[in-house]
Structure 1
Amino acid sequence: MLLSDGTGLSRLAKALAGVALVGVLAGCQVRPLYSTAAGTEAKLASVSISEADDRVEQQVRNDLIFLFTGGAGEAQSAAYHLEMDVNVRTIGVLTDVVKDRARAGRVTVSADYNLTKAGTGETLASGKRSAVAVVDYPTQEFAKLRAVRDAENRGAREVAELIRADVAAALARR
């Protein structure tokens, strides 16, 4: 009679589902990426970054140094080394057919990076990140150059933030 009316079965199913849910949640480990408990900030502050080859790579490098150390400057004693290669590509996407001139464009900043331990050279994280910044081309040439430079800076800042998040996640696992 207990199983025939369905209430006993539904109670049993609910109880089993509750036990299964508690078991699944017990295995979860939630830890904020920016928490200071794991010592991630100290690890980030001990990352040295490779020298830059061009202006945009220098912008990414400067943004990363600021993000890693909170504005304290470059790491003096580096436990980790971040090797970077940054590329920039600018393309016009909206062309005025009559004047044969682009009116808007896209600036794509992409960076390949490799994080290694300074002492052993063991690779901890590597990857490629990119960001796209749109730009309007004014008719004045200097204004156009300045608009492209501003778009490169925006793309560099976004790439630096993405790389910082990747490096912080890799160092938090250590």
Structure 2
Amino acid sequence: MSSDRFLRRIGVVSGLVMLAFLAGCQVRPLYSEASGTGERLAAVGFSQPQNRIDQVVRNHLVFLTSGGAGESTRPAYDVKLSAKSTATSILDDEDEDNVSSTGVPVPGRVQVEATYTLTRVSDGQVLKSGKRDVVSLIDVSGQGFAKLRAIRDAENRAARELAEFIRAEIAIALAREPQPQTVWQK
């Protein structure tokens, strides 16, 4: 009898501990209206681009954060963004043109890397900074224009994907921001 009571008490205590643990979990949608993340994303401004890759990443970020409405005229947050791209051959035993002796296209890769810093404009506090990179695979042709076009298309694909990652990280950082307090006046 006493072992049954003991097991029952252990079950009740472990159930209460588990209930207390689960009560501490706060799972909520990232873009819920209550959190205000969507409004904060729309209030993000981006630094001016320095090269073509910066421009592609920036344009896609502006579209993603504003929902297609364009960049904020009075941003509450600022993102300093710098991106670069490198194109390399996957195979090491090929010649300078990255084309095999039979004329078959050679596999290559384009890596787009970006560093960014999210700051609050009102006090200059850095909320998030990071470095991300995305790789896009290509087939490098022996024709000059086809090679350049393949590299540019791969850069564009990688830049758009990179913008998606950066937007998600910015949204997470903005979701952690405290809600502005509403001051009611008579």
TM-score (norm 1): 0.91
CA contact (8 A) 1:112 1:126 kept: yes
Q: Could you list the runs of 5+ residues in structure 1 that have no partner in the other structure?
A: none
Query: Would you say 1:129 and 2:126 are equivalent positions?
Result: no
Instruction: Identify, as 1 or 2, the structure richer in strand.
Output: 1
CA contact (8 A) 1:95 1:101 kept: no
Identity of aligned residues (%): 47
3-state SS of paired residue (2:137): strand
Deviations 1:40-73 (A, max 9, x none): 1111111110010111110000000000001001
Q: In 2, Cα distance between the equivalents of 1:156 and 1:113?
A: 14
Q: In 2, Cα distance between the equivalents of 1:173 and 1:97?
A: 50
Q: Could you list the runs of 5+ residues in structure 2 that have no partner in the other structure?
A: 100-105, 178-186
Of the candidates 151, 158, 162, which is equivalent to residue 159 of structure 1?
Answer: 162
Measured on the aligned residues, the alpha-carbon RMSD in Å equals 1.8
Of the candidates 51, 54, 77, which is equivalent to residue 80 of structure 1?
Answer: 77
Match of 2:2 in 1: 2
Match of 1:115 in 2: 118
Match of 1:138 in 2: 141
Shift of 1:32: 1.1
User: Residues 26, 128 of structure 1: CA spacing in aligned structure 2 closer, same or farther, 3 A cutoff?
Assistant: same
CA contact (8 A) 2:45 2:79 kept: yes
Decide which moves more: 34-43 or 77-86: 34-43
Letter in 2 for 1:2: S
Match of 2:34 in 1: 37
